[in-house]
Amino acid sequence: MIIDPKKCVACGNCVAVCPMGAIHIDPEKKRATVNQDECVECYTCFRGMSTERLNPTMVRTIRKIGSWLRWRFDPEPDVCPTAAITEQELAWPRIVRRAFSDPVVPHESTGVHGRGTEEVKTNDVTNRVGQDDAGFTVEFGRPTVGVRFWQIQEMTTALARMGIEFEKRNPVTSLMADTKTGEIRSDILNEKILSAIVEFKTTLNNAPAVLQKIKEVAKTLDTVVAVGAAARCDEQGENRLEELLLREGFTFNRGKTNLGLGRPSVDIAQARATIG
C-alpha cells in the first residue's frame, strides 16, 4: 500500500488504523508514509476506511490555521478525507502478503477466504477428523502481531520431524517446497503477513506430544501463536479430546461447534457411492 503524497493532508487517521503499525507521519515531508517492509498488504486502510474526496490544498490550509490557533478538530477517525491511500500492483513474492492478510481475497489453493481453511467447520461433510483423531490449527501472528514465513517454517519443520502430515487443502501447505520436511519455498521466507494457519491431524494418542512440541517451539518465536484443537463427537455429542486437553493442563471456554447439518450434494454423494 502507498499513500499519495499529493493527496495526503497528514491528518493521521490511518496511523492508528494500521494493524501492523506500519504507517507514520514523516516529520520532514509532513505526509503519512508506509514502511513497506512492515506493511502486510491487508488492505485495512484502503478498504476499511471511508473516504471523502476533498481538495487537499483546502484541507491543509484549514488544518494549518486550526493548528496555529491550537484548535482541535474532531474528525471521524475512520475517514481518509482526500482518498490518499492507494493500492499498488503486487508482484511475486510480495503478493503472498495480500493472500494471507486481506480476508476478502480467496486463496487459490482452497477457494476459501480469510486464512483459507475449513478445519472441522465442514467435518460433517468431509469426515476428515475421525473419533480417534485430533485436528489442529496452529495460527501464527494473530492477533495483529504479524509473522514472517521463516518463523512459520520453524514450527512446520519441527512438526514434520514428528511425522505430522499437513492438511493438503491448506494455503501454507500449498507453499511448502517439501511437505515431508515442512520446508517452505525459500523465495517467500522473509515475507511478512498478518497471520497464517498450519493445519493437520494426528491420533488422539499422539496429541499430548504434539501440543508439547507446539508450546516448546512457540516460545522460541518472536510472534504469537493461537492454537485450536478439534474433535469428532460420538452419537451423544461427546468426545475424548476434551478430557485429554484438561489432563494436559489446558483451560478453554470458547470454541466452534459443528451441528452436523451438512452433507455432500446428491450428485457428489452418488458419484462417491459409485466409486466406493
Partner 1 sequence: MTNTLHRYGNERNLSNDFIVFAIPCRGYNDKDSVPKLKRFLRTATKYNPVNLGDGSHGGAYRPSKNLNPTAHWSRKSEPDFETVIEGVNTPTTVAAVFDNIKAVEEFVAELQKEDLGLSINISALIDRAQECCDGVGIARHSVEYSLGFMGQTDRLADRQVMELSTMCGHGMISFNFARKMIDWVKEGRRTPEQACNYFSRFCSCGIFNPTRAKEILEEARRRNS
> Which of the residues 82 through 111 are near partner 1 (CB under 8 A)?
83, 101, 103-104, 106, 110-111
Task: Give the range of 91-99, 173-181, 184-192, 257-265 binding partner 1 by CB under 8 A.
Answer: 257-265
- C-alpha cell of residue 24: 507514520
Is the four-CA dihedral 73, 77, 81, 87 of positive or negative sign? Answer: positive
The least CB distance from residue 70 to partner 1, in Å, is 17
Binding to partner 1, residues 209-238 (CB under 8 A): 211, 214-215, 218-219, 221-233, 235-237
Residue closer to partner 1 by CB (options 186, 212) is 212
Residue closer to partner 1 by CB (options 71, 252) is 252
Sole binder of partner 1 in the list 195, 201, 207, 210 (CB under 8 A): 195
Q: What is the rounded CA–CA span in Å between residue 211 and residue 248?
A: 9
Q: What is the rounded CA–CA span in Å between residue 4 and residue 12?
A: 14
Residue closer to partner 1 by CB (options 1, 178) is 1
3-state secondary structure 54-118: CCHHHHHHHHHHHHHCCCCCCCCCCEECCCCEECCCCCCCCHHHHHHHCCCCCCCCCCCCCCCCC
DSSP state of 264: -
Sole binder of partner 1 in the list 54, 90, 95, 204 (CB under 8 A): 54
Binding to partner 1, residues 157-186 (CB under 8 A): 169
Residue closer to partner 1 by CB (options 182, 228) is 228
Residue closer to partner 1 by CB (options 18, 175) is 18
DSSP state of 130: -
